[in-house]
Structure 1
């Protein structure tokens, strides 16, 4: 269950990162110099969570 939740959370982080980049808003209005790096970090973290969840799902499937 945790692995599937981690997969879904990764997708939400990617969407949140894209929203921050496009709308430059994350709880407060952000300057572009802050919005772009924050959005990029959120997208990268989402990709990391998805990759980790998929690798753990494959690992459990092999066992």
Structure 2
């Protein structure tokens, strides 16, 4: 159960990191816009994937109880 909540927190972190990369065009080094936008987009998509997967697992566990 804790893993699912940590997945949600990590997902939120990835979404926020993606937004920061897109807005500031910085991830360890300064990035060109043609690199920052796809990288930020990937972070946002991966964060959303982690959040959705964790919510799905939490609902499955609640149905079993």
Place the TM-score, normalised by the shorter chain, in its bin: over 0.9
Q: How far does residue 53 in structure 1 lie from its aligned partner after superposition?
A: 0.1
Unaligned runs of at least 5 residues, structure 2: none
Q: Deviations over 1:9-33 (max 9, x none)?
A: 0000000000000000000000000
Q: TM-score, normalised by structure 2?
A: 0.96
Aligned to 2:14: 13
Aligned-residue Cα RMSD (Å) equals: 0.2
How many residues align? The count is 63
Q: TM-score, normalised by structure 1?
A: 0.99
